[in-house]
Each structure stands twice: as structure tokens, then as C-alpha cells.
Copies of this chain bind each other. A is one copy, B any other.
Amino acid sequence: MKSHPHHRTALVVVSHPDAASFNHAIARDSAAVLEALEFTTHLCDLYADSFDPVITKGEVRGQRTGDQLTNMYISLLASAELLVVVHPNCWGAPPAMMKGWMDRVFAEGSAYAFEKSCDQGDVPRGLLRIKTALVFNTSNTGEERERVEFGDPLERIWRDCLLQYCGVQRTIRRVFRIVATSSLRHREEWLREVRQIIEDAVLKSD
């Protein structure tokens, strides 16, 4: 019999149009290792779900969305204790599909709130229960060029602009590069690393 004092929930979100991509392999292996660690795990494939990333006029003004899938995503995010996101680095930012998941799903009232109950530029209160977030990115830019020429804006977007704002204190990020020219053997090594990073993150947070 399995010994789990309480059911923990994990959410894995992937944004890549090709189900045969390395991004999808990372997402599948992340979900598998989380299941093995006895997390109740949801894997959201934004392309397979035909998620609409375009935020509406009502939503930017703080209204609750009427979109059924977006509401389901909001519930999954609100109940998750561990989050894994997987996407390629695309112009130093997430691709539009993942960006829309950030725009619409990290909603006022469920991911964060203002003391004055609307945005007047003041500091918000994070509402998420997530203890650890893991960000896996793929890239075709070398590490030094990314740092010196581009400044790696993705790091700050996820860690500082979004997750910390919504109450997530611990973000672990790993970028795999250069994916375009990587060998199968190299990718298998990277997948072992993904599983190890997740196991370590879960064990350290226990």
C-alpha cells in the first residue's frame, strides 16, 4: 500500500506546436516522474487543447473570464503545489501561446490580489499555493551570447515579474541548448537531468 499522508497536486504546462518536439518529451517525463512521486498530476498541452491566448477587454479590466478552458486552467493553477512549465525561448520571451496562458490564467482574484481591490500601481498579495516552480526552456543560442548580447529576459519574466509576484518563492530554471543541433544521446541525457531536477526539488521541499 502506498504511503501518502495527503495528496499533492502538480501541474505541467507545455507550449510547442509539434507533439514530437523535445519540449513535449520534457513535459511527458516531468509528468511521469511527478506521478511516480505520488503527485496527482495534470499535464496541459496548450496546442492540443486549442487554448485561445488572446486576453479579452473584460479580463484586462479585472473581470472574471467566461472562457471554459481558461477557467479550468485557473482552477488547476490555483490548486497546484508544484508547477512545471516547458517552452522554447522565442525572442527572449515565451511564445504567444504560453504568454497567453500567463496573461489569462494568472488572473486577479485567483493568482494575486490588491489591497485596494484594483490595480492602482500598489504592491499586490500573491495567492498561489505553489511552493516550487520549475521552468524548462529550449534554446538555439549559446549561453555566453544569451547572457552578454540578449540578457536572458526570460529568467526575470518567470521568476521576478510573474511567479514571485503571485507568491511563488522558489523558481528553478534550466535551459537546454543548442537544441537544433543536439544528438539523440544528448537529449536523453537532458531528460535524465529533468527527472533528477524534479526529484531533487521535491525531496528538498519535503
Contacts and interface: CB of A to CB of B under 8 A. Distances in A.
Interface stretch (A29-37, A68-76, A125-133, A145-153): A145-153
A188 to B, nearest CB: 20
A202 interface: no
A57 interface: yes
B100 A157 contact: no
Number of this chain's copies in the complex: 2
B161 A156 contact: no
B157 A161 contact: no
A180 B17 contact: no
A181 B93 contact: no
A133 to B, nearest CB: 14
Contact of A157 (B47, B93, B106): B93
A31 to B, nearest CB: 21
Contacts of A96: 53-55, 96-97, 99-100, 102-103
A83 to B, nearest CB: 15
Interface of A: 16-18, 47, 53-57, 59-61, 88, 90-97, 99-100, 102-103, 106, 118-121, 140-142, 149-151, 153-154, 156-157, 160-162, 165, 177-178, 180-181
17 contacts: A17-B57, A18-B61, A53-B96, A55-B90, A90-B103, A91-B102, A91-B106, A92-B156, A95-B100, A96-B100, A99-B99, A120-B140, A120-B180, A121-B142, A150-B161, A151-B160, A153-B154
Give the 7 A-B residue pairs with the shortest CB-CB distance, closest first: A92-B161, A96-B100, A153-B153, A53-B96, A17-B57, A121-B178, A96-B99
